[in-house]
């Protein structure tokens, strides 16, 4: 081996040795109880709750990584942790470490899972009746027994915001991959579910965060399924702003914005275009066969996150070139009476307005019009999907004449010229609604199980059992 090659070999070996010693020393330093205590203190300070960690290690290619992270938060005993993650990785700035500083170039959280259960509001002891303002917050008072002078009252001093301590760890970038979030009402029913969450953000010197996010699939109330939810976000001191929220939903597009304040109050604005009725019905668990048409809607919602009793808002919707199957009871009535327009809605117009309050969606007005029929309705829909609608069916003279002899005499004058109307109710869950329309149309008490009536009318007679016939012949 030449002298030059030998020198290169020795130099390379020294570099590898120095690098190995540096990695070993850095690994020992990063896994020291002192540094991990600083990291854990910083994380618990930011989260406001103790954090459990299963293990930690360091590699040059992945950085410092802690695994099996769980945060109990305000969850009650026996409930799953508020937040868990498969691992959290820190990519440190080596130059800053040599200077005794903890600077994280990137914080990567893998598989974070958030479960949030809304708590029932607790009654306040203070009198908050009208005309009386709530008492102002008072400082904590510590009572210390003194053997000679009785009791000493000590009021801890509040730290000045101008003298807030510097953060223990400086983070420049944050990433979340394959995250999920579940928001439940006080009864444990799912209100909102988010899956496949990916987020990238930059931390600014004022401790605010801005970046982009994407959610593969969302479930709202168990009946709405938007996907590819995406946009940009800004977060600062508990305020979250999503100024350009977008999503794909049932073949159409959603655009909107969301703003959440530190007190958990939120404002949501949404507009949607091109929502396909067939896909929408299928998502909601209804029969979408033969449906066509596009839905447009816009609306707003305000309230406290996780507290449906505070939600309020409004919405409006319209459908163009609509053709779809109505609720099953109405469709069955159409089959029984031979009314084609009740078997399949072919609508010239369809419009509705809604008001959200008192944990209900109130149908303020709903009107669907075909060539010979007009159906309108109003009333509440519970957040769990239960219906209690007051509806009316308007028939023109042509259709009533064709059904002469089948209809009862309960029709009344309608505000629409040339039509007469009959009121009826729609109740039950949205997936299996019931109606007393057939009773009203025929004037007979038949009940709401139209499907059972049809089966009884058209079922085949059951053959007699052979043993029973022989016994009858013997008698």
What distances in angstroms separate CA 390 from CA 169, 382, 423, 440, one per listed residue? Answer: 60, 14, 7, 13
Which one of 161-175, 317-331, 374-388, 458-472 scores highest in mean pLDDT? 374-388
**Contact criterion met (CB below 8 Å) for 345 and 362:** no
Q: What is the pLDDT of residue 32?
A: 59
DSSP H helices in 31-75: 33-47
**Which positions ≥6 away from 332 have C-beta within 8 Å?**
450, 451, 454
Q: Quick check: is 45 in a domain?
A: no
Q: What is the pLDDT of residue 74?
A: 60
Mean of pLDDT values over 436-452: 63
Q: Quick check: is 174 in a domain?
A: no
CA distance 59 to 61: 6
Q: How confident is the model at residue 78 (pLDDT cuts 50, 70, 90)?
A: low
Spatial CA neighbour of 106 closest among 181, 174, 201? 174
The pair of three-digit structure tokens given for residue 135, joined into one six-digit string: 């008492």
CA distance 233 to 227: 18
Between 16-30, 367-381, 397-411, 413-427, the lowest mean confidence (pLDDT) is in: 16-30
Q: Quick check: is 439 in a domain?
A: yes
CA distance 85 to 67: 8
DSSP H helices in 231-375: 277-283, 328-337, 340-343
CA atoms within 13 A on the CB side of 159: 5
Q: Quick check: is 182 in a domain?
A: no
The pair of three-digit structure tokens given for residue 388, joined into one six-digit string: 């209690």
Q: Quick check: is 270 in a domain?
A: yes
Q: What is the pLDDT of residue 89?
A: 85
Provide the number of structural domains found in the chain: 1
Please give the model's pTM, rounded to 2 decimal places.
0.67
Answer whether residue 162 shows pLDDT above 50. Answer: no
CB atoms inside a 10 Å sphere around CB 30: 20
Which one of 74-78, 126-130, 235-239 scores highest in mean pLDDT? 235-239
pLDDT tens for each residue of 337-381? 778 777 887 888 889 999 999 989 999 999 988 888 899 999 999
Q: Quick check: is 360 in a domain?
A: yes
Q: What is the pLDDT of residue 418?
A: 92
Expressed as residue numbers, the domain containing 316 is 253-458
- Beta pairing class for 252-260 and 265-276: antiparallel
CB atoms inside a 10 Å sphere around CB 315: 17
Alpha-carbon Rg for the chain, nearest whole angstrom, is: 33
Residues paired with residue 175 on neighbouring β-strands, in sequence order: 108, 200
Answer whether residue 276 shows pLDDT above 80. Answer: yes
Mean of pLDDT values over 433-443: 80
Specify the DSSP element, H or E, that contains 240: strand 239-249
Q: How confident is the model at residue 217 (pLDDT cuts 50, 70, 90)?
A: very high
Q: Quick check: is 92 in a domain?
A: no
Count, residues in the chain: 475
Answer whether residue 138 shows pLDDT above 60. Answer: no
Q: Quick check: is 59 in a domain?
A: no
CA distance 180 to 83: 10
- Beta pairing class for 103-110 and 170-171: parallel
């Amino acid at each position: 081996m030449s002298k030059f090659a030998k020198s290169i070999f020795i130099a390379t070996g020294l570099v590898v040795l120095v690098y190995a010693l540096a990695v070993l020393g850095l690994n020992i330093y990063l896994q020291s109880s002192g540094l991990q205590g600083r990291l854990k203190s910083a994380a618990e300070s930011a989260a406001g709750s103790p954090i459990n960690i299963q293990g930690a290690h360091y590699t040059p290619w992945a950085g410092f990584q802690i695994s099996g992270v769980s945060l109990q938060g305000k969850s009650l005993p026996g409930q799953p942790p508020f937040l868990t993650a498969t691992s959290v990785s820190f990519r440190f700035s080596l130059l800053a470490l040599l200077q005794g500083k903890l600077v994280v170039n990137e914080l990567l959280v893998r598989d974070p899972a958030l479960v949030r259960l809304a708590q029932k509001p607790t009654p306040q002891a203070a009198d908050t009746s009208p005309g009386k303002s709530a008492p102002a917050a008072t400082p904590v008072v510590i009572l210390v027994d003194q053997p000679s002078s009785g009791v000493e009252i000590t009021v801890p001093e509040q730290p000045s915001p101008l003298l807030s301590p510097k953060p223990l760890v400086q983070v420049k970038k944050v990433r979340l991959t394959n995250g999920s979030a579940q928001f439940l009402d006080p009864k444990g029913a799912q209100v909102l579910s988010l899956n496949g969450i990916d987020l990238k953000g930059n931390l600014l010197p004022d401790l605010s965060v801005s970046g982009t996010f994407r959610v593969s699939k969302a479930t709202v109330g168990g009946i709405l399924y938007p996907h590819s939810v995406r946009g940009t976000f800004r977060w600062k001191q508990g305020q979250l702003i999503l100024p350009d929220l977008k999503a794909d939903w049932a073949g159409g597009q959603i655009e909107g914005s969301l703003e959440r304040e530190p007190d958990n109050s939120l404002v949501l604005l949404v507009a949607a275009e091109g929502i396909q009725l067939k896909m929408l019905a299928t998502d909601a668990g209804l029969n979408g066969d033969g449906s066509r048409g596009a839905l447009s809607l816009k609306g707003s919602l305000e309230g406290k996150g996780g507290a449906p009793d505070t939600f309020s808002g409004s919405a409006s919707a319209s459908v163009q070139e609509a053709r779809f199957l109505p609720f099953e009871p109405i469709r069955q009535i159409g089959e029984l009476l031979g009314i084609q327009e009740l078997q399949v809605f072919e609508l010239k117009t369809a419009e509705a307005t809604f008001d959200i309050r008192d944990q209900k969606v109130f149908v303020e007005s709903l009107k669907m019009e075909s060539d010979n029929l007009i159906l309108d309705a109003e009333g509440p829909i519970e957040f769990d999907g239960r219906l209690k609608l007051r509806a009316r069916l308007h028939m023109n003279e042509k259709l009533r004449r064709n059904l002469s002899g089948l209809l009862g005499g309960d029709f009344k004058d309608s505000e629409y010229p040339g039509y007469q109307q009959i009121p009826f109710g729609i109740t039950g869950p949205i997936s299996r609604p019931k109606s007393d329309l057939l009773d009203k149309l025929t004037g007979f008490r038949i009940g709401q199980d139209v499907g059972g009536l049809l089966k009884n009318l058209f079922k085949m007679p059951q053959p007699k059992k052979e043993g029973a016939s022989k016994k009858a012949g013997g008698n």
